[in-house]
Structure 1
Amino acid sequence: MGNCIICGKPVDGLVCATHEEDVVFEFDGDDPSQLTPDRYYRGVVDGYADFGVFVDLGDHVTGLLHRSELDRRLESLDWEPGDTVYVQVLDVRDNGNVDLGWSIRQDDREFRGTLIDAPDGEYRLDDVEGEEDEYETDESTPAESPADEPAPDESATTTNGGDTTPAEEGESEPATPTMEIEEPEPPLKRTTIDALAEQVGSVVRLEGEITGARQTSGPTVFELSDETATVECAAFEEAGVRAYPAVEVGDVVRLEGEVERHQGDLQVETETLEILEDEDREDVRARLEDAIEQQARPERVEPLAGHDAIVAIEDELVEAATAIRRAVTEARPIVVRHTATADGYVAGAALERAVLPLIREKHTRDDAEYHYFERRPLDGQVYDMDAATDDVTSMLEARDRHGEQLPLVVLVDAGSTVESADGYDLLEVYGADRLVIDDSHADEAILEDVSLAVNPTLADAGDVTTTAVAVNVAVHVNDEVYEDLGHLPAVSYWEDTPEVYAELAAEAGYDETDISERREAVALEAYYQSYKDKRELIADLLFDDAGDLASHVSGQFRDKLETELETARENLETESVGDVTVAVLDTEAFTHRFDFPPTDLLLDELHRRDREGDRFVTLGLDEDELHVRSTTSVDVRELGETIAETTPDAGVRVVGGHDGYIEFLAGERDAVREAALEALGETLA
């Protein structure tokens, strides 16, 4: 009976069953039956076949690492014949064939010890170095006889009750009693979270930052992040009682515990948890910060297409991608707020497509992608106090109840004008970062209220959709989705699609019909249940290559839109203001306000189909809102200021800035209509 070299537990041999997977063995046998399944062995690459790699484990013993056991494609392995590799013996068959498994650890230093696996037992490597016959006893050599032993030293003494006396003649010398001194258990070496899957059942030591803490009806669950990943660590004091109450989110800690699987997810059962201070804390913090900086900074990739408007903001694209990647690395939630339009949903889905794989890599929980990434559609293009209050309420509840960090809030296709300043101020009070990705005409003043704004209008770049911008951010966040997103910019253009994006979609296998069906289908689904992200449904519409779903839903889109257009055209009033033709639709009276399509989409389509000449304006006059569509550029904010001067009692204000809409008091509707026509004549003269 000995002690396990890792945990000190009494065991027959040198390592207990729990820690066999933490040790690498050198095989000293010559028959496959002498191998021990589930152990990890050092081997040598013998050669390749179509179905895997042959690995020599010892004299006359070779195993097969089948391609199905690899964590990568067989063709991507950089092993050469003669290379030392590390594999797990999965099974030794009756016919002598040896099935091998992949080892994520491919270096002696990644194991916690090295032992010799010999037919007659296990041996320390140090015990056999330099010995030719380290495991066998030569039975042909007789033991020395007592007569050959040297005579005892006459000066020898015996010990009796603590007194020392000369040994008497003819009296044998008693054996000196010895006491076995148990060596202290060596401290655990630090491991990283990304290696825990290979250490289930083992006790490990982790160092990192507490990024979450929540109390369940049973244990306290801490979320621990190191430079590689994040894992949940359960600590039990008693049912429903907070374990380690001094430990808070943001603390740097050292934790020891046993790796287990809890409902399929990796989890560490905490045995000790220590808050690090001074140099220990700074060492871990520096290691984490270095890793975060390295992981957050993306490799520069080529823009998705040679579009001048995108090239002009390339630096901002990289900075936005860095902010998003940093949030993932720090285990901070990401909340994407986008408009409930086709452009908003497609742009948000592009970011989602890039971020979710990174979250899956970072976290050991299977459902982490639903906790650390959310899309919340907005009602309009302004991040107002209603939306900000909702977000702040949610993030404070998540912090207090579940110990979550404050999120990175990403505004998509919204939030570029000063009307969003109050909402941003509320987020800033709590220190939540704000990132804007938008194509709407931006106010430079908003730059003071957000962490970063990615908007082509700030660089005086050309016309581009929010989706085109968001897709280029997404491929910097995760270049592995580059090919998945090529068709999305074209989906976001209702007309005048830049040729570079049409070609990109065609290269990805999407023709004009495929693109238009996806655009129309998303637009329809964006309207219904507009407060929900519809994650799986939107993904099916945009990335389902068969396209059956998109074709079906776009058919419904066209049926509903054509019905409303027919009614609108019958009630359209056309007037001439100077050399400008203005078509006015009373949307309050002649549209179904609570059915598809929404006013904005109806006016867009009506203007596209019925405009005449280069100076044509379509006005949508609701109960208390005025929407403008024009073939020539109209600054809605300037138009609103002119109307306000003419109708000082109408409560006129602009929502959304240069390309927004105008609100007014319903009782002044007729006065606002006349003032708008007059102002358009002056503005476009």
Structure 2
Amino acid sequence: MGNCIICGTPVDGEICESHEEDAVFEFRGTSASQLTPGRYYRGTVDGYADFGVFVDIGDHVTGLLHRSELDQRLESLNWEPGDDVFVQVLDVRDNGNVDLGWSIRQREREFRGKLIETADDEYQPEEFEDDTDESSTEPSDESSAETPEETEDLTDDRAAKAGELQAAAEETEPEPDTDSVDEGQPAVAETAGTATSSGSVATESATASTPATDDATDAEPDAESEPALKRTTIEAIENQVGSVVRLEGEITGVRQTSGPTVFELRDETGTVECAAFEEAGVRAYPDVELDDVVALEGEVEHHHGDLQVETESLDILEGEERETIVDRLESAIEREARPADVESLADHDAVAVVEDNIADAATAIRRAVMEARPIVVRHGATADGYVAGAAIERAVLPLIREKHTREDAEYHYFERRPLDGRVYDMDAATSDVTSMLEARDRHGEQLPLVVLVDAGSTVESTDGYELLSLYDAEALVIDDSRADDEVGDAVDVAVAPSLAGVDVTDVTSTALAANVAAHVNDDVRADLEHLPAVSYWEDTPEDYLALATEAGYDETGVSERREAVALEAYYQSYKDKRELVIDLLFGDDDESARPRDGDLAAHVSEQFRDKLDTELETARENLTVQGVDGITVSVLDTDAFTHRYNFPTTILLLDALHRSERDRADPPYVTLGVGDDELHVRATEPVNVRDLGDAIADAVPNGGVSVVGGQDGHVEFLPGERDAVREAALEALGETLA
């Protein structure tokens, strides 16, 4: 019986079941059957194939990381044969094949522990090495005799380490690196690097392993009188690799790895990770927490391609020192975050009326980037939702790369999560809160900014916003729907023209989001100009068509992209499909997008039209057309005459059906889709679905009638009252539109 290396729970072995995925394993077995599915392993790239990457797990087993498991395109991987990588074992098949999964953690220090796994058991690295040494060599009295007297009470391992530190200090002391520090400062050579299990270097004072002498005591007053290092900025440290620097700023992240503690530090120019080593897996500077303002000194290094500061000292600042830095940070954010002015992509009344809100939304998003807060974009799983979300993504990712030194920062600080529908309900909010609390507790991340796009502007979403607000997580909404006043009070910023009393029939969420994105990052404005046109199924404003044409997209190209995104939005609708969406929307001008066979958008849009046309033909044959008080109403039984679990969705089909049939009848014309428990309405005249739902509820009081999605939403009811609800809807529409 032992204790879990992460939580200390008594276990049979070295790690409890709930923390297996928090540790990385080094495999020392000889057969694939000895691997443990679900665990993460260090591996070595063996080679590439068209369908994925072969990775050696240990010396005797090779697995396949299939391209479908990657979070980026296979061609964009910069792994070379022989490179160390980290993967998850998903499955070991009966024939010995090993299926591997992608790990977002590609550095050992990002795991919370490390273990050696053999054919029979797992061991802590030091225990495994000790066992190996004992079985191959005899203890030597000579070695203990050579250990300094000061380390008698230490373990053999720590004694050897202390001796190495002392030897390194003595060897380098005569030749201090005067280029690395200011004149009169202690030389860098007075510290020695100790390799952690992750391969990073943790610096410790050489004098810490030897007892203080009278000479050292006498020298202390002189050391105190030496001038302190001058402050530098994170933006400037790229040119100071190998030098000791002083940084001042706010702690925006804390995470414990199997080696050092990693603090994320933000100043007015950027963010950098700072590694501090106490001992393997032990929290360094335990008093330092999120939001503390600190002064940190350390050596700038490159670590696996990222800039990192190896911390030598870390002090929490209080009083006037703290206020000075807080004021400096806030002034920089205020100066940099808010757009100087608002210049819309095109002349559009529905956009012009919310210019101040666009500036507020852009400011909130830029502040989140500067404050190292994650940004979560929630959008509808529709063409408009995906394109609008992609517009925000296009603007934010370059800013994250600019502000953070980690190469994978964009995957930690930005996420798109499609929504099922256009309501930010308790299910979605609970998922987001669970994720953000886990990220805070496990990885020391700050609470995110949640951005609702093409969703979330009706009262049905307020419960979700209230849950976020209980944790002080900010939210903003960008939506073309007819919004409810309650939402304006529930979120920090609302970009919703309907709240200003403007007709929203000629605006899309993408038109709004693209304008916000252009003010988040003016450098990508040209990339965004064709997106509003992509989001319109009909009656595209001429100014947006002109912008698309100037950007090199004719009407066919615009239509193909809209249809292709609509099709791909349906499949794997819960995933962001970042790389695929980039290829579809920006493939003509994005060097990283390389579809192999011809025009990707044209190819996918052809599938869209084939599938939609087939369903439209079936739907037309099964429409029931009737007159109600001078109104032509076409009713489609959406459960009986649609393929409910295939493309297209009911909503997309009804939209297309209504557009294709309305010109054949005199207005007003209504298309009514009635399923087992849902009713959708499309009309040539505006219909307030909430009022329609109230009328149906009055007529069918036991029907469990409710409205989802506000004035532009749909009606839900109990299946047993389907016929009564249908008749009540027809009567209510007749009274409303006649």
Relative to the length of structure 1, the TM-score reads 0.74
TM alignment of 1:47-446, pairs within 5 A: 185-446=226-487
- Amino acid in structure 2 at the alignment position of 1:583: S
Work out whether 1:678 is the aligned partner of 2:731.
yes
Gaps of 5+ in 2: 1-171, 184-218, 590-597
CA deviation map 1:77-104 (0-9, x unaligned): xxxxxxxxxxxxxxxxxxxxxxxxxxxx
Contact conserved, 2:298 with 2:311, CA < 8 A, in 1? yes
The Cα shift of 1:301 comes to 3.9
In the aligned structure 2, how far is the partner of 1:241 from the partner of 1:295?
38
What displacement does 1:613 show? 2.5
SS in 2 for 1:241: coil
C-alpha root-mean-square deviation of aligned residues, in Å?
1.7
1:663 corresponds, among 693, 708, 716, to 716
Aligned to 1:152: none
Per-residue CA deviation, residues 326-357 of structure 1 (Å, 9 max, x unaligned), is 11111101101000000000000000001111
Report the Cα distance in structure 2 between the residues aligned to 1:683 and 1:643, rounded to whole angstroms.
Answer: 12
Q: Secondary structure at the match of 1:186?
A: coil
- Measured at CA, do residues 182 and 248 of structure 1 come closer, stay the same or move farther in structure 2, by a change above 3 Å? closer
CA distance in 1, matches of 2:387, 2:470: 31
Q: Could you give the per-residue CA deviations for residues 310-330 of structure 1, whole angstroms, max 9, x where no partner exists?
A: 111111110110111111111
Deviations 1:516-570 (A, max 9, x none): 0000000000000000011111011000118811011101101111111111111
Q: Quick one: which of 542, 561, 571 aligns to 1:499?
A: 542
Separation of aligned partners in 1, 2:546 and 2:489: 38
Which residue matches 2:523? 480
- Secondary structure of the residue aligned to 2:300 is strand
**C-alpha separation in 2, matches of 1:371 and 1:295:** 22
In 2, Cα distance between equivalents of 1:297 and 1:381: 29
Q: Gaps (5+ residues) in structure 1? A: 1-8, 24-178
State whether residues 18 and 201 of structure 1, in contact with CA within 8 Å, keep that contact through their aligned partners in structure 2.
no
Q: Out of 446-455 and 429-438, give the one that drifted further.
A: 446-455
Picking from 553, 558, 570, the partner of 1:510 is: 553
Q: Read off the aligned partner of 1:684 and give its amino acid letter.
A: L
Is contact 2:462-2:486 (8 Å) kept? no
Deviation at 1:504, TM superposition (A): 1.1
Matched position secondary structure for 1:245: coil
What is the SS of the residue equivalent to 1:410? strand
For residue 582 of structure 2, the aligned residue among 526, 534, 539 is: 539
Q: How does 1:33-44 map to 2 (within 5 A)?
A: none
Measure, in 2, the Cα distance between the counterparts of 1:561 and 1:595.
10
Does the 8 A contact of 1:299 with 1:476 survive in 2?
Answer: no
The answer to whether structure 1 residue 627 and structure 2 residue 648 are counterparts is no
Question: Which one of the candidate residues 469, 478, 490 is aligned to 2:533?
Answer: 490
Q: In 1, distance between residues paired with 2:390 and 2:513? A: 9
Letter in 2 for 1:560: K
Q: Aligned partners of 1:182, 1:216: CA distance in 2, in Å?
A: 37
SS of match in other structure, 2:528: coil
The amino acid of 2:372's aligned partner reads A
- In 1, are the aligned partners of 2:632 and 2:667 still within 8 Å (CA)? no
C-alpha displacement at 1:371, in angstroms?
0.7
Shift of residue 614, structure 1, vs aligned partner: 2.2
How far has the Cα of 1:185 moved from its partner? 4.5
Distance in 2, matches of 1:649 and 1:198, equals: 72
Q: The residue matched to 2:456 in structure 1 has which SS?
A: coil
In the alignment, the residues of structure 1 paired with residue 309 and residue 268 of structure 2 have an alpha-carbon distance, to the nearest angstrom, of 17
Q: Alpha-carbon deviations, 1:578-625, whole Å to 9, x = none?
A: 111000110101111111000000000000001123211001111100
Give the Å deviation of 1:16. 3.0
Counterpart position of 1:602: 653
Structure 1 residue 19: Cα displacement: 3.0
Query: What code does the residue aligned with 2:180 have?
Result: H
Name whichever structure is richer in helix by fraction.
2
Amino acid at match of 1:465: T
Instruction: Look up the equivalent residue of 1:672 and give its one-letter code.
Output: V
Q: Provide the secondary structure at the position in 2 that maps to 1:589.
A: coil
Q: CA deviation at 1:366?
A: 0.5
Report if the CA contact (8 A) 2:306-2:406 is conserved.
yes
- Tell me if structure 1 keeps the 8 A contact 2:342–2:355: no
What's the CA shift for 1:653? 0.5
Contact preservation (8 Å) 1:301, 1:475: no
Instruction: Give 1:370's aligned amino acid.
Output: Y
TM-score (norm 2): 0.69
Structure 2 distance, partners of 1:498, 1:580, is: 29
Does residue 465 of the first structure (1) align with residue 500 of the second (2)?
Answer: no
The separation in 2 between residues aligned to 1:554 and 1:273, in whole angstroms, is 56
Which amino acid in structure 2 is aligned with residue 652 of structure 1?
A: V
Contact kept? 1:295, 1:329, Cα under 8 Å: no
Give the whole-Å Cα distance in 1 for the aligned partners of 2:660 and 2:338: 46
Give the corresponding residue for 2:109: none
Task: Quote the offset at 1:448 in angstroms.
Answer: 1.7
Letter in 1 for 2:474: D
Mean CA deviation greater in 204-213 or 613-622: 613-622
Q: Give the Cα–Cα distance (whole angstroms) in 2 for the partners of residues 380 and 311 of structure 1.
A: 27
Q: Which residue identity lines up with residue 495 of structure 1 in the other structure? A: E
Q: In 1, are the aligned partners of 2:374 and 2:413 still within 8 Å (CA)?
A: yes
Q: What's the CA shift string for 1:272-310, capped at 9, x where partnerless?
A: 110001111111111111111111112224200011111
Structure 2 Cα separation of the partners of residues 244 and 272 of structure 1? 9
Residues 597, 263 of structure 1: CA spacing in aligned structure 2 closer, same or farther, 3 A cutoff? same
1:617 equivalent in structure 2 = 670
Hey, what does 2:51 align to over in structure 1? Answer: none
- Give the % identical residues: 73
Secondary structure of residue in 1 paired with 2:461: helix
Rounded Cα–Cα distance in structure 2 between residues aligned with 1:541 and 1:223 = 35
Counterparts of 1:499 and 1:400 in 2: how far apart (Å)? 50
CA deviation digits over 1:4-37, x for unaligned, max 9?
xxxxx8667xx837639x99xxxxxxxxxxxxxx
